[in-house]
Amino acid sequence: MDIKVIREKTDAELAVLLDEQRGKLEELRFRARARELKNVHELRDARRVIARMLTVRNERQQVA
């Protein structure tokens, strides 16, 4: 997910997306441990999306 898309989301939408991404990351970690994950780069991508969301959330808190 691109940073521009994340910045367009409201705080409530961002919170929902963040929960979804954290669930996705947990599922990817589980699948990686079970050797069912073919594309291990998905783990890195999921972590980066979560980091982008947290960055936007923290920026908004700094401004307010």
Model confidence pLDDT, tens digit, residues 8-59: 999 999 999 999 999 999 999 999 999 999 999 999 999 999 999 999 999 9
Where along the chain do its domains lie? Answer: 3-63
Q: What would be the CATH architecture of the domain defined by 3-63?
A: Orthogonal Bundle (1.10)
**Structural contact between residues 46 and 25, judged by C-beta atoms closer than 8 angstroms:** yes
Q: Which amino acid is at 7?
A: R
Q: Which two tokens stand for residue 54?
A: 């947290």
Sorting pLDDT into bands at 50, 70 and 90, what band is 63?
confident
pLDDT value of residue 17: 97
